[in-house]
Structure formats: C-alpha cells, structure tokens
Amino acid sequence: MALVFAGLCGHGPGFTGRAELADPEPRDALYAGFERLRLALEDAKPDALVVVAAEHFANFFMDNMPAFAIGMADSYEGPIEDPDWLKIEPTSVPGNKDLSRRIVSAVMQDVDVAYAEEWKFDHGIAVPLHFLTPRYDLPVVPANINCQGPPLPPLHRCWAFGEALRRVIDAVPERIALLGTGGISHWPATPDSGKINEAWDREFLERVLNHRRDELLAYTDEDVYRDAGQGGFEMRTYVAVAGATQGAEGELWFYEPIPVFAVGATIAAMNLG
C-alpha cells in the first residue's frame, strides 16, 4: 500500500546496558525521544516494520559476507548478547516470511540482495525494538548493510538499496514502516569509545534529512574513517533511508552526544505528508 512511517535512530548497546552510568539529563531526553518515535510509529498503524540495520557479527562474517541481506522468516531470535550486559532479555520477534519473500524478490530487480531464513538479532536491532515495539507485537523484516567488515558496499549502492526498498514498499498491499538504525561518528568498543564528532554528525544529518544525494554520496570511506571513526561506516543505513524517502521532509527530533553511550544519540523522522 504505502510507506506509512520512516524514522532514524541510534542503537548503542549502552542505551539499555549502561543506563546508570550516563548523565541523567541527556539520557532521559533520549528516552523521551524514543517514546515520541514509538508513538509516531503506532499512530501510523503499520502492518510490518522494515529495519535497515548494521549488524555486528551476529549472523554475517568474513567467510561469506553479504553486502545487503534481508531476513525471510516468520520469527527471529535475539538479542545474542548476555542479558546482564545488554539488559534486554532474549526473546522471539515475529517476522513475516511471505512479505519478506515479496520484498526480496522485488529488491533483486535492482540490487543483488542475499536472503536469510535464519537471523539472530544483536543490539543493532534489539535496542531500537526495545524502545519502539516493546511488546514485540509488530512483525519485523530485518535488512542489513555490511557496515563492519570492509570492503563495504559503496554509498551509491546503499542509496539504490533504499530506492529499491521504496519501490516494493509502495507496491505491496501492507502498510509498511521503515527504520534506519546506526551510530554516526563513533569509535565503539575501543579505548576511544565516547569520542564523538558532533560537527560531522550534524552536517551528515543535514544531508540525510534534506536528501542531498550528491553530497551524501561524496563521502569516501577514508573521509568517514578519519572524521567519524570505524563506527561511522554505519552511516550507510541512513543513506539507504534517505534514498527510500526522497521528497519527504526530514526532521531531527533529538541529537545529543552521550559519551558513555559512545555516540551522539540521534532520533529523526521523515515527514511523509
């Protein structure tokens, strides 16, 4: 039927796992941002949520690394992380195999996407779902862009992946919500964890929210690595959502560096009109 919702958010494992270590003021503001996004998602009455994620070696590894992958199952397990560490209990999240199959088949017309009938969530999807679908009652279609193990798919392909997703979302009878989730500049899981390039993040978000395609595709991996760290490669998820939402007006709902969460925590939405 249509794309009924498009949002962007971070997925730092610290959002849930290290809550008590964070400065309460920005932390609670982030949680309020997630709550606003949850209400907007519910208001859109979606039949399914397509999550464009940047998983962290929960399913895909350098033995056979897909540039793009889409889950094709009726349920997904996760998160894989220790529940005492992530503070999210492992659970089963509903999928929609039939919808996935239609999405995969259509996306393949434009982008060679891998499909996976088994998929374990990690914090990259589990943290956003914890805030946005806390009852795990909305079927999820996970989509992944390799943002971790270089060589990584070029940005123009991520944009094309977003465009391909949009074409099929517009064609299926279901009401579809789309979520892109990644950290922007960050140096996660390293001794520099907590470092954040706020100026870079804000400039990047401007380009995403205004769908400035040429300026987005102009970033090189070398630029991103230097200015935004290896974690910045997850920008790909935002580029895909920008490609999927051309013509919509983007709005930044929340951005605040929270060092113990390792990112400038971000919440944004595309006004689909």
Partner 1 sequence: MSLYYVQKLLYQLNRDPHVRKRYDSELDELLTEYDLTAEEIQAIKALDLGLLYVIGVNGQILMHFSALHGIAWPDYIEALRQGLKKYGPVREGVYAETGYQGIAAHDEALRARRAATSQGKT
Interface with partner 1 by CB under 8 A: which residues?
13-14, 17-18, 21, 23, 25-26, 56-59, 61-63, 80-82, 84-86, 120, 122, 148-150, 187-196, 229-230, 257, 259-260
The dihedral sign for the CA sequence 19, 21, 22, 24: positive
Of the two residues 47 and 221, which places its CB atom closer to partner 1 in the complex?
221
Of the two residues 191 and 273, which places its CB atom closer to partner 1 in the complex?
191
**Percentage helix, strand, coil for the chain under 3-state DSSP, each rounded to 5:** 40, 25, 35
**Nearest distance from C-beta of residue 12 to partner 1, angstroms:** 11
Question: And the tokens for 21?
Answer: 């270590």
Of the two residues 98 and 223, which places its CB atom closer to partner 1 in the complex?
223
**Nearest distance from C-beta of residue 182 to partner 1, angstroms:** 13
75-78 and 249-258 as β-strands: parallel, antiparallel, unpaired?
A: unpaired
**Nearest distance from C-beta of residue 197 to partner 1, angstroms:** 10
**Nearest distance from C-beta of residue 6 to partner 1, angstroms:** 26
Of the two residues 58 and 248, which places its CB atom closer to partner 1 in the complex?
58
The structure tokens 């805030």 sit at 131
**Nearest distance from C-beta of residue 21 to partner 1, angstroms:** 7
**Peptide bond before residue 94 is cis, with ω within 30 degrees of 0:** no
Buried b (16+ CB within 10 A) or exposed e, 98-125: ebbebbbebbbeebebbbbeebbbbbbb
Of the two residues 174 and 256, which places its CB atom closer to partner 1 in the complex?
256
Question: And the tokens for 215?
Answer: 């300026």
CA gyration radius for the chain?
A: 17
